Amino acid sequence: MVDIFLTIMGRDLKLAYRRWSEFANPLLFFVIVASLFPLALSPGQALLQSIGTGVLWVAALLSSLLALEGLFRGDFEDGSMEQILLSPAPFGTVVIAKIAAHWIVSGIPLIVLVPVVALSFQLPGEALATLAAALLLATPTLSVLSAIGAALTVSLKSGGSIIGLLILPLCSPMLIFGTRATDMAANGEPVAAPLYLLAALAVFAISLGPLAVAAALRVGLE
């Protein structure tokens, strides 16, 4: 099972490396959108600090939508998915491996990038560490939710906009706790509670999400 996990993840990472622009574009999009706010609004420190957290989280969320359509679509269109489904490899493991690979190429860069962009919103230093920690806990949930959206729309010609409608509402708890944790850190308050809630969401998503994804993919292939 570990072999299959590593095989699938290795393959997806290799493919991502060879088509790196697919994953670089959303990150660039995030940087640009987040940088437009300080330009468009008055550059006063108080305003930027108060809106900064929300802008960063929403921009990160929207940019991650750009990368997720290809999560299963490529495998679906070239017939790899039916071969994988028919192979003796346990399908649940395959799904988890694909989500993990997606998180590595789209989640981890966000964890690094968001605190850097946060500097342009003049967020206090203490908040940056919390922001990174909150992202570390939130991005796995985001990857699982993205996978559910991508799997449900895989048999449609173009799922792009529907995926957004499907998963953005589901992302709201994550958004609430993520921004809350960052704000509380900026105000010097203890941040354990929202971080624990983000961790709970991640555990919930990771344990149940892949089942939904696997079921949706099976239906999509019929």
Partner 1 sequence: MSDENAGLIAADLGVSRGGRLLIDGLSFELEAGDAALVTGPNGSGKTSLLRVLAGLAPPAAGSVKWAATEVRQLAPEARAGIAYRGHLNGLKKDLTVRENLEFHRALNGSEAPIDELLVTLGLRDVAGQRLRFLSAGQRRRAGLAMLKLGEARLWLLDEPLTNLDIAGRRLVAQWIDEHLDAGGMAAIASHQPDQLAGGGTLSIEL
Nearer to partner 1, 84 or 170 (CB): 84
Q: Residue 3 or 40: which CB sits closer to partner 1?
A: 3
Min dist CB 203 to partner 1, Å, is 26
Instruction: Quote the least distance from Cβ 50 to partner 1, whole Å.
Output: 45
**In the complex with partner 1, which residue's Cβ is closer, 71 or 137?**
71
Nearer to partner 1, 51 or 85 (CB): 85
Q: Which stretches of the chain bind partner 1, using CB under 8 A?
A: 3-4, 7, 11, 14-15, 18-19, 74, 77-80, 82-91, 221-222
Backbone angles phi, psi at 149, to 5 degrees: -60, -45
Q: Positive or negative, the Cα torsion across 165, 203, 10, 217? A: negative
Shortest Å, Cβ 78 to partner 1 = 6
DSSP 103: I
Q: How far is the CB of 196 from partner 1 (least distance, A)?
A: 36
Per the rule left: phi > 0, alpha: psi between -120 and 50, beta: everything else, 189 is: beta
Q: Between 1 and 32, whose beta carbon lies closer to partner 1? A: 1
Neighbouring residues of 140: CB distance < 8 A, sequence distance ≥ 6: 103, 107, 202, 205, 206
Contact 174, 201 (CB under 8 A): yes
Residue keyed to tokens 């921009």: 59
CB–CB of 67/107 below 8 Å?
Answer: no
Provide the minimum distance between the beta carbon of 124 and partner 1 in the complex, in angstroms, as a whole number: 43
Tokens 């850097």 sit at which residue? Answer: 116
